[in-house]
Structure 1
Amino acid sequence: MQFSEFQSTEQLNTEFADRVASLLATAIDNKGKASLVVSGGRTPLPFFKQLSQADIDWSKVTITLADERWVDKSHEASNTALVLNNLIQNKAADATFVELKTSEESAFGAEASVKQSLQQFSFPIDVLILGMGEDGHTASLFPCSEQIQQGLTSDDVVLAVQPTTAPHERMSFTLKTLLESQQIFVHLVGDSKKVVLDKALAGDKVEEMPIRAILKQDKAPVEVVWAAK
Protein backbone atom coordinates (compact mmCIF):
# COMPACT_ATOMS: atom_id res chain seq x y z
CA MET A 1 0.00 0.00 0.00
CA GLN A 2 1.21 3.46 -0.92
CA PHE A 3 0.29 6.43 1.27
CA SER A 4 0.26 9.93 -0.24
CA GLU A 5 -0.29 12.92 2.04
CA PHE A 6 -1.25 16.31 0.66
CA GLN A 7 -0.91 19.73 2.28
CA SER A 8 -4.52 20.65 1.56
CA THR A 9 -7.66 19.24 -0.01
CA GLU A 10 -7.17 21.71 -2.87
CA GLN A 11 -3.75 20.25 -3.65
CA LEU A 12 -5.13 16.73 -3.27
CA ASN A 13 -8.02 17.38 -5.65
CA THR A 14 -5.80 18.95 -8.31
CA GLU A 15 -3.03 16.36 -8.24
CA PHE A 16 -5.38 13.41 -7.76
CA ALA A 17 -7.53 14.50 -10.72
CA ASP A 18 -4.40 14.76 -12.87
CA ARG A 19 -3.31 11.29 -11.80
CA VAL A 20 -6.69 9.68 -12.51
CA ALA A 21 -7.00 11.46 -15.86
CA SER A 22 -3.55 10.22 -16.84
CA LEU A 23 -4.43 6.62 -15.98
CA LEU A 24 -7.66 6.84 -17.98
CA ALA A 25 -5.84 8.38 -20.95
CA THR A 26 -3.25 5.59 -20.85
CA ALA A 27 -5.99 2.95 -20.84
CA ILE A 28 -7.62 4.65 -23.83
CA ASP A 29 -4.29 4.70 -25.66
CA ASN A 30 -3.66 1.04 -24.88
CA LYS A 31 -7.08 -0.49 -25.56
CA GLY A 32 -9.33 2.23 -26.96
CA LYS A 33 -11.46 2.60 -23.84
CA ALA A 34 -11.28 3.15 -20.09
CA SER A 35 -13.42 2.52 -17.03
CA LEU A 36 -13.75 4.43 -13.78
CA VAL A 37 -15.58 3.40 -10.60
CA VAL A 38 -16.20 6.10 -8.01
CA SER A 39 -17.78 6.32 -4.58
CA GLY A 40 -20.42 8.72 -3.29
CA GLY A 41 -20.62 10.95 -0.26
CA ARG A 42 -19.54 14.55 0.20
CA THR A 43 -15.75 14.05 0.29
CA PRO A 44 -15.24 13.47 -3.46
CA LEU A 45 -17.46 16.30 -4.76
CA PRO A 46 -14.70 18.92 -5.23
CA PHE A 47 -12.51 16.21 -6.74
CA PHE A 48 -15.31 15.26 -9.16
CA LYS A 49 -15.58 18.88 -10.30
CA GLN A 50 -11.83 19.04 -10.85
CA LEU A 51 -11.74 15.75 -12.74
CA SER A 52 -14.66 16.77 -14.96
CA GLN A 53 -12.40 19.42 -16.51
CA ALA A 54 -9.70 16.93 -17.54
CA ASP A 55 -8.74 17.10 -21.19
CA ILE A 56 -9.13 13.44 -22.20
CA ASP A 57 -11.43 11.62 -24.61
CA TRP A 58 -14.32 11.15 -22.23
CA SER A 59 -16.46 9.58 -24.96
CA LYS A 60 -14.36 6.46 -24.51
CA VAL A 61 -14.79 6.33 -20.71
CA THR A 62 -17.50 4.43 -18.85
CA ILE A 63 -18.22 5.36 -15.24
CA THR A 64 -20.21 3.69 -12.48
CA LEU A 65 -20.41 3.60 -8.68
CA ALA A 66 -18.80 1.10 -6.30
CA ASP A 67 -22.13 1.00 -4.48
CA GLU A 68 -25.46 2.77 -4.41
CA ARG A 69 -28.28 3.28 -1.97
CA TRP A 70 -31.51 1.79 -3.28
CA VAL A 71 -33.28 5.13 -3.70
CA ASP A 72 -34.49 7.07 -6.70
CA LYS A 73 -32.02 9.60 -8.08
CA SER A 74 -34.38 12.38 -7.01
CA HIS A 75 -33.73 11.32 -3.38
CA GLU A 76 -31.23 13.34 -1.36
CA ALA A 77 -29.32 10.13 -0.50
CA SER A 78 -28.71 9.17 -4.15
CA ASN A 79 -25.05 8.83 -5.07
CA THR A 80 -26.10 8.65 -8.71
CA ALA A 81 -27.39 12.21 -8.47
CA LEU A 82 -24.12 13.36 -6.90
CA VAL A 83 -22.12 11.86 -9.76
CA LEU A 84 -24.43 13.21 -12.46
CA ASN A 85 -24.39 16.71 -10.97
CA ASN A 86 -20.69 16.93 -10.14
CA LEU A 87 -18.69 14.56 -12.37
CA ILE A 88 -20.74 13.97 -15.53
CA GLN A 89 -20.35 17.65 -16.34
CA ASN A 90 -18.07 19.89 -18.40
CA LYS A 91 -15.71 17.79 -20.54
CA ALA A 92 -16.71 14.61 -18.69
CA ALA A 93 -20.31 15.06 -19.91
CA ASP A 94 -19.24 12.92 -22.89
CA ALA A 95 -18.61 9.89 -20.65
CA THR A 96 -21.08 7.03 -20.36
CA PHE A 97 -22.53 6.67 -16.87
CA VAL A 98 -23.98 3.29 -15.91
CA GLU A 99 -26.42 3.44 -13.00
CA LEU A 100 -26.48 0.67 -10.39
CA LYS A 101 -30.03 1.48 -9.28
CA THR A 102 -32.71 -0.22 -11.37
CA SER A 103 -36.50 -0.04 -11.31
CA GLU A 104 -36.99 -2.93 -8.87
CA GLU A 105 -38.63 -2.07 -5.57
CA SER A 106 -35.91 -3.82 -3.54
CA ALA A 107 -32.19 -4.32 -4.07
CA PHE A 108 -32.66 -7.91 -2.94
CA GLY A 109 -33.47 -9.85 -6.08
CA ALA A 110 -32.29 -7.05 -8.36
CA GLU A 111 -28.74 -8.36 -8.79
CA ALA A 112 -29.52 -9.92 -12.19
CA SER A 113 -30.90 -6.68 -13.63
CA VAL A 114 -27.94 -4.72 -12.26
CA LYS A 115 -25.54 -7.15 -13.93
CA GLN A 116 -27.52 -6.68 -17.13
CA SER A 117 -27.03 -2.90 -16.86
CA LEU A 118 -23.32 -3.41 -16.22
CA GLN A 119 -22.91 -5.04 -19.61
CA GLN A 120 -22.47 -1.44 -20.81
CA PHE A 121 -19.52 -1.06 -18.45
CA SER A 122 -15.94 -1.85 -19.45
CA PHE A 123 -14.41 -4.47 -17.16
CA PRO A 124 -11.88 -4.89 -15.69
CA ILE A 125 -11.98 -1.59 -13.83
CA ASP A 126 -9.09 0.66 -14.83
CA VAL A 127 -9.41 3.07 -11.90
CA LEU A 128 -11.36 2.39 -8.70
CA ILE A 129 -11.82 5.15 -6.11
CA LEU A 130 -13.10 4.04 -2.72
CA GLY A 131 -13.98 5.85 0.46
CA MET A 132 -13.98 4.54 4.02
CA GLY A 133 -16.53 4.91 6.79
CA GLU A 134 -15.79 5.52 10.45
CA ASP A 135 -16.62 1.84 11.03
CA GLY A 136 -14.11 0.71 8.42
CA HIS A 137 -16.66 -0.13 5.72
CA THR A 138 -15.88 0.50 2.07
CA ALA A 139 -18.26 0.41 -0.88
CA SER A 140 -21.29 -1.09 0.93
CA LEU A 141 -19.31 -3.88 2.58
CA PHE A 142 -20.50 -3.07 6.11
CA PRO A 143 -19.18 -4.99 9.14
CA CYS A 144 -22.66 -4.74 10.66
CA SER A 145 -24.54 -6.36 7.76
CA GLU A 146 -25.68 -9.97 7.55
CA GLN A 147 -24.24 -10.01 4.02
CA ILE A 148 -20.64 -9.16 4.97
CA GLN A 149 -19.24 -12.69 4.59
CA GLN A 150 -20.95 -13.07 1.23
CA GLY A 151 -19.61 -9.71 0.10
CA LEU A 152 -16.07 -10.74 1.04
CA THR A 153 -16.19 -14.23 -0.52
CA SER A 154 -18.74 -14.24 -3.36
CA ASP A 155 -17.64 -14.85 -6.94
CA ASP A 156 -20.55 -12.73 -8.15
CA VAL A 157 -20.18 -9.15 -9.43
CA VAL A 158 -22.66 -7.35 -7.17
CA LEU A 159 -24.52 -8.00 -3.94
CA ALA A 160 -27.59 -6.51 -2.26
CA VAL A 161 -26.79 -5.32 1.27
CA GLN A 162 -28.83 -4.06 4.24
CA PRO A 163 -26.60 -2.36 6.83
CA THR A 164 -27.93 -2.21 10.38
CA THR A 165 -26.11 1.03 11.27
CA ALA A 166 -27.02 3.04 8.17
CA PRO A 167 -30.27 3.64 6.26
CA HIS A 168 -31.38 2.18 2.94
CA GLU A 169 -30.79 -1.07 1.15
CA ARG A 170 -27.67 -0.95 -1.01
CA MET A 171 -26.22 -2.55 -4.11
CA SER A 172 -22.48 -3.04 -3.88
CA PHE A 173 -19.68 -4.51 -5.90
CA THR A 174 -18.26 -7.57 -4.18
CA LEU A 175 -14.70 -7.69 -2.92
CA LYS A 176 -13.77 -9.95 -5.83
CA THR A 177 -14.92 -7.35 -8.36
CA LEU A 178 -13.15 -4.53 -6.54
CA LEU A 179 -9.85 -6.42 -6.41
CA GLU A 180 -9.89 -7.05 -10.15
CA SER A 181 -9.17 -3.35 -10.67
CA GLN A 182 -5.98 -2.19 -12.37
CA GLN A 183 -5.49 0.59 -9.80
CA ILE A 184 -7.29 1.25 -6.50
CA PHE A 185 -7.32 4.54 -4.64
CA VAL A 186 -8.72 5.15 -1.16
CA HIS A 187 -9.66 8.84 -0.95
CA LEU A 188 -9.72 10.24 2.60
CA VAL A 189 -9.97 13.72 4.10
CA GLY A 190 -9.74 14.70 7.76
CA ASP A 191 -7.87 13.70 10.90
CA SER A 192 -10.67 11.37 11.99
CA LYS A 193 -10.28 9.29 8.84
CA LYS A 194 -6.53 9.03 9.45
CA VAL A 195 -7.30 7.60 12.91
CA VAL A 196 -9.60 5.00 11.33
CA LEU A 197 -6.97 4.19 8.70
CA ASP A 198 -4.29 3.66 11.36
CA LYS A 199 -6.66 1.37 13.26
CA ALA A 200 -7.35 -0.63 10.12
CA LEU A 201 -3.65 -1.02 9.38
CA ALA A 202 -2.96 -2.12 12.97
CA GLY A 203 -5.28 -5.14 12.83
CA ASP A 204 -6.07 -8.04 10.55
CA LYS A 205 -9.69 -9.10 11.08
CA VAL A 206 -11.42 -8.18 7.83
CA GLU A 207 -14.95 -8.79 9.12
CA GLU A 208 -14.41 -6.06 11.75
CA MET A 209 -13.11 -3.51 9.25
CA PRO A 210 -13.71 -4.54 5.62
CA ILE A 211 -11.36 -1.82 4.33
CA ARG A 212 -8.58 -4.15 5.50
CA ALA A 213 -9.46 -6.45 2.60
CA ILE A 214 -8.45 -3.60 0.28
CA LEU A 215 -5.43 -2.30 2.20
CA LYS A 216 -3.90 -5.69 3.05
CA GLN A 217 -3.87 -7.61 -0.23
CA ASP A 218 -1.50 -8.12 -3.14
CA LYS A 219 -3.90 -8.59 -6.05
CA ALA A 220 -4.20 -4.92 -7.04
CA PRO A 221 -2.07 -1.83 -6.37
CA VAL A 222 -3.57 0.45 -3.71
CA GLU A 223 -2.77 4.07 -2.96
CA VAL A 224 -4.31 6.00 -0.08
CA VAL A 225 -4.60 9.72 -0.81
CA TRP A 226 -5.19 11.86 2.26
CA ALA A 227 -5.31 15.46 3.36
CA ALA A 228 -5.97 16.61 6.93
CA LYS A 229 -8.20 19.49 5.77
Structure 2
Amino acid sequence: MQLHQYSDTKALNTDFANRLVTLLNEAISQRGRAYLVVSGGRTPTALFNALSETDLAWQNVTILLADERFVPVDSADSNERLVKANLLKGKAAKAEFISLYAPAAKAEAAVATILPRIAAIPAFDAVILGMGEDGHTASLFPCSAELNSGLAADAPAVLAVNPTTAPHQRISLSLPRLLNAGQIFIHLVGQSKLDVLNKAQAGTDVTSMPIRAILQQPDVDVAVMYAAN
Protein backbone atom coordinates (compact mmCIF):
# COMPACT_ATOMS: atom_id res chain seq x y z
CA MET A 1 0.00 0.00 0.00
CA GLN A 2 1.22 3.48 -0.86
CA LEU A 3 -0.09 6.58 0.92
CA HIS A 4 -0.24 9.72 -1.21
CA GLN A 5 -0.89 12.84 0.86
CA TYR A 6 -1.97 16.16 -0.67
CA SER A 7 -2.12 19.72 0.61
CA ASP A 8 -5.86 19.93 -0.08
CA THR A 9 -8.64 18.21 -1.99
CA LYS A 10 -8.09 20.35 -5.08
CA ALA A 11 -4.51 19.11 -5.43
CA LEU A 12 -5.66 15.57 -4.68
CA ASN A 13 -8.41 15.61 -7.29
CA THR A 14 -6.17 17.10 -9.99
CA ASP A 15 -3.49 14.44 -9.54
CA PHE A 16 -6.04 11.67 -9.05
CA ALA A 17 -7.85 12.54 -12.27
CA ASN A 18 -4.55 12.57 -14.15
CA ARG A 19 -3.59 9.16 -12.77
CA LEU A 20 -6.96 7.72 -13.75
CA VAL A 21 -6.77 9.11 -17.28
CA THR A 22 -3.30 7.59 -17.70
CA LEU A 23 -4.54 4.17 -16.55
CA LEU A 24 -7.65 4.28 -18.70
CA ASN A 25 -5.69 5.44 -21.76
CA GLU A 26 -3.26 2.56 -21.31
CA ALA A 27 -6.13 0.09 -21.08
CA ILE A 28 -7.79 1.48 -24.21
CA SER A 29 -4.49 1.24 -26.08
CA GLN A 30 -3.91 -2.36 -24.94
CA ARG A 31 -7.37 -3.90 -25.29
CA GLY A 32 -9.61 -1.29 -26.86
CA ARG A 33 -11.69 -0.67 -23.76
CA ALA A 34 -11.22 0.46 -20.16
CA TYR A 35 -13.21 -0.48 -17.06
CA LEU A 36 -13.51 1.89 -14.11
CA VAL A 37 -15.22 1.17 -10.79
CA VAL A 38 -16.26 4.17 -8.69
CA SER A 39 -17.89 4.70 -5.31
CA GLY A 40 -20.69 6.99 -4.18
CA GLY A 41 -20.96 9.44 -1.32
CA ARG A 42 -19.86 13.05 -0.93
CA THR A 43 -16.10 12.54 -1.12
CA PRO A 44 -15.74 11.72 -4.84
CA THR A 45 -18.10 14.32 -6.31
CA ALA A 46 -15.38 16.92 -6.95
CA LEU A 47 -13.17 14.23 -8.46
CA PHE A 48 -16.02 13.14 -10.71
CA ASN A 49 -16.55 16.68 -11.94
CA ALA A 50 -12.84 17.10 -12.69
CA LEU A 51 -12.69 13.75 -14.44
CA SER A 52 -15.74 14.52 -16.59
CA GLU A 53 -13.82 17.32 -18.33
CA THR A 54 -10.67 15.35 -19.15
CA ASP A 55 -9.70 14.37 -22.68
CA LEU A 56 -10.19 10.65 -23.07
CA ALA A 57 -11.85 8.29 -25.54
CA TRP A 58 -14.81 8.07 -23.16
CA GLN A 59 -16.86 6.08 -25.68
CA ASN A 60 -14.40 3.25 -24.94
CA VAL A 61 -14.82 3.43 -21.16
CA THR A 62 -17.24 1.37 -19.07
CA ILE A 63 -18.09 2.68 -15.59
CA LEU A 64 -19.84 0.89 -12.76
CA LEU A 65 -20.24 1.29 -9.02
CA ALA A 66 -18.54 -0.71 -6.27
CA ASP A 67 -21.88 -0.76 -4.48
CA GLU A 68 -25.35 0.71 -4.61
CA ARG A 69 -28.15 1.45 -2.19
CA PHE A 70 -31.24 -0.55 -3.12
CA VAL A 71 -33.34 2.48 -4.00
CA PRO A 72 -34.78 3.65 -7.33
CA VAL A 73 -32.25 5.43 -9.53
CA ASP A 74 -34.11 8.72 -9.20
CA SER A 75 -33.85 8.63 -5.39
CA ALA A 76 -31.69 11.24 -3.66
CA ASP A 77 -29.89 8.32 -1.98
CA SER A 78 -28.97 6.59 -5.27
CA ASN A 79 -25.26 6.33 -6.04
CA GLU A 80 -26.16 5.87 -9.70
CA ARG A 81 -27.97 9.22 -9.67
CA LEU A 82 -24.90 10.86 -8.14
CA VAL A 83 -22.53 9.36 -10.72
CA LYS A 84 -24.75 10.37 -13.62
CA ALA A 85 -25.06 13.93 -12.31
CA ASN A 86 -21.36 14.47 -11.57
CA LEU A 87 -19.34 12.15 -13.82
CA LEU A 88 -21.38 11.07 -16.84
CA LYS A 89 -21.58 14.56 -18.28
CA GLY A 90 -19.45 16.83 -20.44
CA LYS A 91 -16.73 14.88 -22.18
CA ALA A 92 -17.48 11.78 -20.08
CA ALA A 93 -21.13 11.67 -21.20
CA LYS A 94 -20.10 9.17 -23.89
CA ALA A 95 -19.01 6.55 -21.34
CA GLU A 96 -21.04 3.38 -20.87
CA PHE A 97 -22.61 2.91 -17.44
CA ILE A 98 -23.61 -0.45 -15.97
CA SER A 99 -26.21 -0.24 -13.21
CA LEU A 100 -26.20 -2.21 -9.96
CA TYR A 101 -29.92 -1.61 -9.54
CA ALA A 102 -32.85 -3.64 -10.79
CA PRO A 103 -36.48 -3.26 -9.65
CA ALA A 104 -37.52 -6.01 -7.24
CA ALA A 105 -39.27 -6.41 -3.91
CA LYS A 106 -35.95 -7.02 -2.14
CA ALA A 107 -32.28 -6.62 -3.02
CA GLU A 108 -31.82 -10.38 -2.89
CA ALA A 109 -34.33 -10.79 -5.72
CA ALA A 110 -32.53 -8.20 -7.85
CA VAL A 111 -29.18 -10.00 -7.78
CA ALA A 112 -30.18 -12.53 -10.44
CA THR A 113 -30.85 -9.67 -12.85
CA ILE A 114 -27.69 -7.76 -12.00
CA LEU A 115 -25.18 -10.64 -12.02
CA PRO A 116 -25.23 -11.20 -15.81
CA ARG A 117 -24.38 -7.53 -16.36
CA ILE A 118 -21.14 -8.02 -14.43
CA ALA A 119 -20.27 -11.54 -15.58
CA ALA A 120 -18.91 -10.48 -18.97
CA ILE A 121 -16.67 -7.70 -17.61
CA PRO A 122 -12.96 -8.56 -17.61
CA ALA A 123 -10.50 -7.35 -14.97
CA PHE A 124 -11.12 -3.78 -13.89
CA ASP A 125 -8.42 -1.28 -14.82
CA ALA A 126 -9.03 0.95 -11.81
CA VAL A 127 -11.22 0.63 -8.72
CA ILE A 128 -11.94 3.64 -6.51
CA LEU A 129 -13.11 2.74 -3.01
CA GLY A 130 -14.14 4.76 -0.02
CA MET A 131 -13.93 3.73 3.63
CA GLY A 132 -16.40 4.25 6.45
CA GLU A 133 -15.60 5.17 10.03
CA ASP A 134 -16.38 1.52 10.89
CA GLY A 135 -13.84 0.25 8.36
CA HIS A 136 -16.37 -0.87 5.76
CA THR A 137 -15.67 -0.50 2.06
CA ALA A 138 -18.08 -0.87 -0.85
CA SER A 139 -21.07 -2.31 1.07
CA LEU A 140 -19.01 -4.90 2.91
CA PHE A 141 -20.14 -3.87 6.38
CA PRO A 142 -18.75 -5.43 9.58
CA CYS A 143 -22.29 -5.35 10.98
CA SER A 144 -23.89 -7.39 8.18
CA ALA A 145 -24.71 -11.09 8.25
CA GLU A 146 -23.57 -11.31 4.62
CA LEU A 147 -20.00 -10.13 5.28
CA ASN A 148 -18.31 -13.54 5.29
CA SER A 149 -20.11 -14.47 2.08
CA GLY A 150 -18.88 -11.28 0.44
CA LEU A 151 -15.29 -11.85 1.57
CA ALA A 152 -15.13 -15.52 0.55
CA ALA A 153 -12.73 -16.49 -2.22
CA ASP A 154 -15.59 -18.16 -4.13
CA ALA A 155 -18.07 -15.31 -3.63
CA PRO A 156 -20.23 -14.39 -6.62
CA ALA A 157 -19.44 -11.05 -8.22
CA VAL A 158 -22.49 -9.37 -6.71
CA LEU A 159 -24.38 -9.89 -3.46
CA ALA A 160 -27.21 -8.33 -1.48
CA VAL A 161 -26.25 -6.85 1.88
CA ASN A 162 -28.42 -5.89 4.85
CA PRO A 163 -26.42 -3.49 7.05
CA THR A 164 -27.72 -2.90 10.56
CA THR A 165 -25.82 0.37 11.09
CA ALA A 166 -26.70 2.12 7.82
CA PRO A 167 -29.95 2.74 5.94
CA HIS A 168 -31.20 0.76 2.95
CA GLN A 169 -30.44 -2.67 1.64
CA ARG A 170 -27.37 -2.69 -0.58
CA ILE A 171 -26.03 -4.34 -3.69
CA SER A 172 -22.25 -4.76 -3.48
CA LEU A 173 -19.45 -6.15 -5.55
CA SER A 174 -17.75 -8.93 -3.61
CA LEU A 175 -14.14 -8.88 -2.44
CA PRO A 176 -12.83 -11.25 -5.17
CA ARG A 177 -14.59 -9.21 -7.87
CA LEU A 178 -13.11 -5.96 -6.50
CA LEU A 179 -9.66 -7.55 -6.39
CA ASN A 180 -9.90 -8.62 -10.03
CA ALA A 181 -8.30 -5.30 -10.93
CA GLY A 182 -5.10 -3.72 -12.11
CA GLN A 183 -5.09 -0.90 -9.58
CA ILE A 184 -7.12 -0.05 -6.48
CA PHE A 185 -7.40 3.44 -5.05
CA ILE A 186 -8.79 4.31 -1.62
CA HIS A 187 -10.05 7.90 -1.61
CA LEU A 188 -10.01 9.54 1.83
CA VAL A 189 -10.57 13.10 3.04
CA GLY A 190 -10.31 14.22 6.67
CA GLN A 191 -8.10 13.43 9.65
CA SER A 192 -10.70 11.04 11.06
CA LYS A 193 -10.38 8.85 7.96
CA LEU A 194 -6.59 8.78 8.33
CA ASP A 195 -7.08 7.66 11.93
CA VAL A 196 -9.35 4.82 10.75
CA LEU A 197 -6.78 3.85 8.11
CA ASN A 198 -4.04 3.69 10.74
CA LYS A 199 -6.26 1.55 12.95
CA ALA A 200 -6.96 -0.77 10.05
CA GLN A 201 -3.28 -1.18 9.31
CA ALA A 202 -2.55 -1.97 12.94
CA GLY A 203 -4.74 -5.10 13.05
CA THR A 204 -5.56 -8.14 10.93
CA ASP A 205 -9.20 -9.06 11.66
CA VAL A 206 -10.99 -8.40 8.37
CA THR A 207 -14.43 -9.10 9.84
CA SER A 208 -14.11 -6.18 12.28
CA MET A 209 -12.70 -3.86 9.59
CA PRO A 210 -13.32 -5.20 6.07
CA ILE A 211 -11.07 -2.54 4.49
CA ARG A 212 -8.19 -4.68 5.79
CA ALA A 213 -9.03 -7.28 3.15
CA ILE A 214 -8.12 -4.66 0.55
CA LEU A 215 -5.18 -3.07 2.33
CA GLN A 216 -3.43 -6.27 3.37
CA GLN A 217 -3.80 -8.47 0.29
CA PRO A 218 -0.59 -9.06 -1.72
CA ASP A 219 -1.85 -9.26 -5.28
CA VAL A 220 -3.15 -5.83 -6.34
CA ASP A 221 -1.45 -2.46 -5.95
CA VAL A 222 -3.34 -0.20 -3.54
CA ALA A 223 -2.83 3.56 -3.47
CA VAL A 224 -4.43 5.64 -0.72
CA MET A 225 -5.26 9.13 -1.99
CA TYR A 226 -5.57 11.38 1.07
CA ALA A 227 -6.07 15.04 1.91
CA ALA A 228 -6.81 16.39 5.38
CA ASN A 229 -9.32 18.90 4.03
The 8 Å contact of residues 70 and 171 in structure 2, kept in 1 or not, is answered as: yes
Match of 1:127 in 2: 126
Superposed displacement of residue 199, structure 1: 0.4
The 8 Å contact of residues 118 and 157 in structure 2, kept in 1 or not, is answered as: no
The 8 Å contact of residues 14 and 50 in structure 2, kept in 1 or not, is answered as: yes
Match of 2:210 in 1: 210
Deviation per CA, 1:153-185, whole angstroms, max 9, x where unpaired? Answer: 043111100000001000000000011111000
CA distance in 2, matches of 1:228, 1:18: 20
Match of 2:62 in 1: 62
Q: What amino acid is aligned across from residue 104 of structure 2 in structure 1?
A: E
Matched, 1:116 2:116: yes
RMSD across aligned C-alpha pairs, in angstroms? 0.9
Give me the identity figure in percent.
51
Flag as ranges the 4+ runs of structure 1 deviating above 4 A: none
CA distance in 1, matches of 2:89, 2:121: 20
The 8 Å contact of residues 62 and 122 in structure 1, kept in 2 or not, is answered as: no
Matched, 1:167 2:183: no
1:1-229 paired onto structure 2 within 5 Å = 1-118=1-118, 122-153=121-152, 154-229=154-229
Superposed displacement of residue 104, structure 1: 1.5
Structure 1 counterpart SS, 2:186: strand
Superposition TM-score, scaled by structure 2 size = 0.98
Superposed displacement of residue 54, structure 1: 1.1
CA distance in 2, matches of 1:93, 1:187: 23
CA distance in 2, matches of 1:155, 1:168: 22
Give the gaps of 5 or more residues in structure 1: none
The 8 Å contact of residues 189 and 227 in structure 1, kept in 2 or not, is answered as: yes
Q: What amino acid is aligned across from residue 201 of structure 1 in structure 2?
A: Q
CA distance in 2, matches of 1:155, 1:145: 15
Q: What amino acid is aligned across from residue 144 of structure 2 in structure 1?
A: S
The 8 Å contact of residues 69 and 78 in structure 2, kept in 1 or not, is answered as: yes
The number of aligned residues is 228
Superposed displacement of residue 110, structure 1: 1.9
Superposed displacement of residue 123, structure 1: 1.9
Give the gaps of 5 or more residues in structure 2: none
